[in-house]
Amino acid sequence: MAAKRKEIEFPMVVSFGVGRVTVCQRSNGFFKLAWREMGAQRTTTKTNKEKALAWAQEKARHLDAATGKRWIDAGDADSLEALRRVAGDGDGALRRLVADVVDAKGWLSGGSDLTTAARYFSESGMLQVERCTLATAVARFLAEYDSGSKETRRTFGQELESFCERPAHRGMMLLDLDESMLKAWTNRKVNEGKDVAAERTVDNRVTTWRTFLNRCRDWKLLPESGKHAGDLLRRPELPEAGKEIFSLSQGRKLLDVVRAHDRETPRQGKRLEAYLLIGGWLGLRPSEIQRLTWEAFDWQTNYCHVPPDVARKNKSERYIPMDERLSKRLHKLFLASGKKLSARCCAFRCREFLSVLARDKSVCEHWPTDVLRHSFCSYRIAVVKSLEQVATEADNSPAILKSNYRRPLRHEDGLAWWALLDDEGFNSQE
């Protein structure tokens, strides 16, 4: 059974803004309406309740408008009240809401379907993200690298912080970052001698922004679905990468110039040679070489132990077998370094020093990306004939090894690479 509808009790006051009309029921069943207008008390009578209430509402609006406000009809008044409820309390809340609606219509090129636009915005995940400035997100991202590789921290920081420091970008919100901004920034020229940056430089910049924005997505600073500004950037067309290795003659020459350099700069403790041997004949990543200490080597069984805190990329512990000639040479370098097992094998920025030395001594015109690791993988596969074994030693998958690292070589080439470590070769330079 339906609930009995509650009767309206009289007398009652019908109000709108500052307009007020009192409605009373007379003994004869008619309704008296009373209000003040122009400083005087006014009254009128209506024959039934519906007419009385409707007339009172219209009169209250009229009285409110008479105070200096614009007169609107009943339908517009209801709409205005609804807008006020949406806008909320506070001075200027309604005006700000109307301004937002005007802006939204402008973005939609005058289209009126704001409901569809709002639904799309909600489904994109934008309502779930935390709003913050770009500079705040960059600082949070770089803080994760403060205790890791200084080189990685510096590379990311130079690209991201430089963008944030430009006057046009100061204080901008992360969500305001768009494809056009990043496209112009990643293609900026390095110096006055070039119109645009080199393709390899642009590719590295795109990688930095994608890494950063992917991390922002993990933190829910960007929507989980859809593409962010970095995903929309197109990478430049690069020549086939990942298969540049040193030839046998380059390897021999590099060993010679490094050993000569270390003799001339004894304060570095022959650490460039250690970096070269560990990268080119054990295949460790540059960041892993920088973290490796002498206690990783077992000189009796000829193994190099790479613990999880060194292999931070995949945190995959592994043991890499060492050629006896390599083991002997590294042991000599350890003894020359001071016999401290906890000491790092290489000084900071060895890779940069080694690449400069190689170019200065005409070993190569440029230092290819991960060239020592790629050289190890290519020559090692030629020796053992097993992608799976070398993938385990290099802490990578056979598929990546084959597509990105390996350059096909003959078995004899692989043997010759390790023959560069013969004692005669080393002793001839002593």
- Percent of the chain, pLDDT > 90? 42
Same domain, 141 and 205: yes
Give the count of domains, the chain. Answer: 3
Same domain, 206 and 299: no
Same domain, 331 and 409: yes
Last residue within a domain, chosen from 174, 207, 232: 232
Angle at 291 between CA 286 and CA 292, to 5 degrees: 95
* Each residue's pLDDT tens digit, 43-92: 999 989 999 999 999 998 888 877 765 556 667 777 878 888 887 877 77
Residue 215 structural domain: 134-232
DSSP helix/strand/coil, 1: coil
Same domain, 226 and 262: no
Contact criterion met (CB below 8 Å) for 214 and 144: no
Same domain, 305 and 366: yes
Same domain, 340 and 281: yes
Output DSSP code: residue 133. B
Contact criterion met (CB below 8 Å) for 381 and 414: yes
Is pLDDT above 90 for 283? yes
Residue 404: give its domain's CATH number.
1.10.443.10
Same domain, 323 and 423: yes
pLDDT band at 429, cuts 50/70/90? very low
Please give the structure tokens belonging to residue 182: 């990043």
Same domain, 266 and 348: yes
Same domain, 191 and 322: no
Is 328 within the bounds of a domain?
yes
- Please compute the mean of the pLDDT values over residues 13-38 and round it to a whole number: 89
Better-predicted residue by pLDDT, 98 or 12: 12
DSSP helix/strand/coil, 22: strand
Is 93 within the bounds of a domain?
no
Last residue within a domain, chosen from 182, 205, 232: 232
* Each residue's pLDDT tens digit, 218-265: 898 888 777 899 989 888 876 655 578 999 999 999 999 999 988 887
Q: From 258, 314, 262, select the one nearest 284 (Cα to Cα).
A: 314
Is 356 within the bounds of a domain?
yes
Is 73 within the bounds of a domain?
no
Is 86 within the bounds of a domain?
no
Same domain, 182 and 315: no
* Each residue's pLDDT tens digit, 296-349: 999 999 999 999 888 877 678 999 999 999 999 999 999 988 888 999 998 878
Contact criterion met (CB below 8 Å) for 312 and 387: no
How many angstroms separate the CA atoms of 77 and 221, rounded?
A: 40
Same domain, 260 and 378: yes
Same domain, 296 and 416: yes
Last residue within a domain, chosen from 232, 257, 289: 232
Please give the structure tokens belonging to residue 136: 């705040």
